């Protein structure tokens, strides 16, 4: 059964979750966290997203994000995920996959 469409309303914070495939680690070295945060800031700026809070765990990430455009969080996560996976594939282990969880609107 296909997933229901995401509800993404302008200026309403979303709880975004991004996980490693099969719960594998997303961050191996300390610098991995720094690169991810730098790229998060870059892609949030490009998409026009505001990051209200974040938690970087070893095998997943929680973000609290809002934007004036409903599609902006998805654009941000796509660009960020592609960039980070390329980094991990080049530096650490090939065939790394990030899986984005369903966004949850927090009203």
Q: How many CB atoms lie within 10 A of CB 21?
A: 12
Q: What is the pLDDT of residues 62-86, one digit of tens each?
A: 999 999 998 999 999 999 999 998 8
Nearest to 73 by CA among 13, 2, 4: 13
Structural domains present in the chain:
14-105 (3.30.70.1290)
Tokens linked to 93: 């282990």
More confident residue, 95 or 28: 28
Give 47-62 pLDDT, tens digit per residue.
999 999 999 999 999 9
Residue identified by tokens 């309303």 is 9
pLDDT at 97: 60
Q: Which helix (H) or strand (E) holds 59?
A: none
Q: What is the pTM of this model?
A: 0.81
Tokens linked to 70: 């409903």
CA distances from 91 to 28, 61, 66 (A): 10, 20, 31
3-class DSSP state for residue 23? helix
């Amino acid at each position: 059964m296909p997933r229901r469409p995401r509800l993404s309303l302008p200026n309403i914070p979303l709880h975004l979750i991004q996980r490693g495939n099969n719960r594998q680690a997303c961050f191996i070295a300390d610098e991995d966290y720094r690169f991810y945060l730098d790229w998060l800031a870059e892609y949030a700026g490009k998409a026009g997203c505001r990051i209200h809070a974040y938690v970087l765990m070893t095998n997943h990430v929680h973000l609290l994000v809002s934007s004036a455009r409903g599609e902006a969080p998805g654009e941000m996560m796509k660009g960020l995920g592609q960039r980070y996976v390329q980094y991990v594939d080049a530096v650490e282990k090939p065939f790394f996959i990030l899986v984005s969880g369903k966004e949850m609107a927090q009203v």
